[in-house]
């Protein structure tokens, strides 16, 4: 809402006006809410208007990449409604925990009111430890705990594809919950996917959901890697991956990204899928035009949610 009267807030939240008043008083004391000019009277006592102070605190979001063998860290600092305050890109020798700590330290020095940090990685976090990752020096690192203890702020570490699909999903502003998938075919790495099922990120019990390179293609991982990087073999192998996702997840849209995917591949993939999947179950297949924007937007959204109540996290994302 950004701003509203007590009665407007009560109506939006379902809380009583008295409860809203108590909470607003707490926010006024901390500075998270600002009281502004009175509304024009409508024949009764004029109501006070409250404005949310979006610059009360900030979040810092960083994602690590090893695309094309070049390690980098991309960062963004936003206020509490996601407006960008600062952003940048750093090429680094290793996108490891130490490099991230150096960036975070410089950002907190510049923005002392950073209250939460979000980290995106090309890998999986299980029980707080990164156990699969394209960046070798991040494997077996309890990154979330390490950063939380060092900087004493809320920290969220999540998979790049989960964040990309979440950012893409939120950008669509769907009127109802949808099922969509983003699949990446990166150069020099194995493919992966992120899934939104009925409006919620699907990670699986050990965060392994979406690791499509482990599908039973009937070939070794070494041969799979070679075929993905061969122009003639890529489309058939990619189509098998897409068909498996359609059969299991039944999405409305599948968005493709990664350095190995070209716009001209889409028609070939679509036709191979149609040869197996009945027409009425075929999703829209597109190439994701701005995957890095979707990735960062998803990371910002998840990090902002980490500052919200646990119930909200359960309802929105799990």
User: pLDDT tens digits for 74-130?
Assistant: 999 999 999 999 999 999 999 999 999 999 999 999 999 999 999 999 998 888 899
Q: Calculate the dihedral angle through the C-alpha atoms of 111, 112, 116, 120, rounding to the nearest 10 degrees.
A: 40
* β partners of residue 254: 181, 285
Which helix (H) or strand (E) element contains residue 91? strand 84-91
Helix ranges (H only) for the chain are: 6-13, 17-30, 97-110, 143-151, 160-172, 221-228, 231-249, 265-274, 291-305, 310-317
Q: Are 51 and 25 in contact (CB under 8 A)?
A: no
Mean of pLDDT over the chain: 92
Q: Which CATH architecture fits 174-290?
A: 2-Layer Sandwich (3.30)
CATH domain 3-52 topology: Arc Repressor Mutant, subunit A (1.10.10)
Q: Which CATH architecture fits 58-162+292-307?
A: 2-Layer Sandwich (3.30)
233 DSSP 8-state letter: H
Q: Is the pLDDT of residue 188 over 90?
A: no
pLDDT of residue 310: 41
- From-to residues of CATH 3.30.420.40 in the chain: 58-162+292-307, 174-290
Report d(CA 157, CA 100) in Å as an integer: 12
Q: Is the pLDDT of residue 311 over 60?
A: no
Residues of the chain with pLDDT > 90, as a percent, come to 82
Q: How many residues does the structure list for the chain?
A: 318
- From-to residues of CATH 1.10.10.10 in the chain: 3-52
Q: Is the pLDDT of residue 162 over 80?
A: yes
pLDDT of residue 128: 84
pLDDT of residue 39: 61
């Amino acid at each position: 809402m950004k701003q509203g009267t007590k009665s407007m807030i009560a109506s939006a939240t379902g809380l009583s006006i008295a409860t809203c008043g108590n909470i607003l008083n707490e926010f006024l004391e901390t500075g998270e809410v600002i009281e502004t000019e009175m509304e024009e009277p409508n024949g009764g006592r004029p109501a006070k208007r409250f404005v949310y102070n979006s610059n009360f605190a900030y979040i810092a979001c960083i994602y690590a990449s090893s695309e094309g063998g070049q390690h980098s860290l991309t960062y963004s600092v936003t206020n509490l409604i996601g407006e960008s305050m600062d952003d940048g890109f750093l090429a680094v020798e290793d996108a490891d925990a130490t490099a991230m700590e150096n960036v975070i330290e410089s950002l907190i020095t510049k923005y002392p009111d950073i209250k939460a940090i979000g980290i995106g990685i090309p890998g999986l976090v299980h029980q707080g430890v990164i156990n699969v990752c394209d960046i070798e020096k991040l494997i077996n690192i309890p990154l979330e705990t390490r950063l939380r203890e060092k900087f004493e702020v809320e920290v969220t570490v999540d998979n790049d594809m989960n964040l990309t699909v979440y950012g893409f999903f939120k950008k669509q502003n769907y009127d109802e919950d949808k099922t969509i998938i983003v699949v990446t075919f990166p150069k020099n790495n194995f493919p992966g996917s992120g899934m939104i099922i009925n409006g919620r990120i699907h990670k699986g019990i050990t965060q392994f959901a979406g690791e499509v390179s482990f599908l039973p293609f009937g070939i070794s991982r070494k041969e799979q890697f070679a075929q993905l990087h061969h122009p003639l073999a890529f489309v058939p192998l990619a189509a098998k991956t897409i068909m498996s996702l359609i059969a299991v997840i039944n999405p409305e849209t599948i968005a493709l990204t990664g350095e190995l995917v070209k716009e001209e591949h889409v028609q070939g993939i679509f036709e191979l899928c149609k040869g197996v999947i009945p027409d009425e179950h075929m999703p829209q297949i597109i190439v994701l035009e701005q995957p890095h924007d979707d990735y960062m937007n998803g990371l910002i959204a998840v990090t902002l949610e980490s500052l919200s109540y646990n119930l909200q996290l359960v309802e929105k994302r799990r």
